[in-house]
């Protein structure tokens, strides 16, 4: 999932360089959403692994 967030961020940067502001803004929003989903899943997985070791 982090891979897809980086891909959308690169797409946004390329679109911004070529002047496609709307596409760049949309790609940045998708990248943000995917990153926060990744972060939430990573934190939940970390907490679950700590609970299982105890």
- Structural domain spans, the chain: 2-53
Two structure tokens written together for 39: 């972060």
Residue 54 in this model has a pLDDT that exceeds 80: no
Q: List, for residues 25-34, the tens digit of each pLDDT value.
A: 999 999 999 9
Cα of 44 vs its chain's centroid, Å: 16
CA–CA distance, 47 with 16 (Å, rounded to integer) = 38
Does the pTM of the predicted model rise above 0.85? no
Q: Tokens representing 13?
A: 């940067």
Which stretches within 1-54 are classed as H helix?
A: 2-17, 21-53
């Amino acid at each position: 999932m982090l891979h897809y967030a980086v891909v959308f961020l690169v797409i946004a940067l390329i679109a911004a360089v070529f002047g496609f502001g709307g596409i760049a803004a949309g790609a940045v929003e998708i990248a943000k959403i995917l990153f926060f989903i990744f972060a939430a899943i990573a934190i939940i997985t970390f907490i679950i692994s700590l609970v299982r070791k105890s």
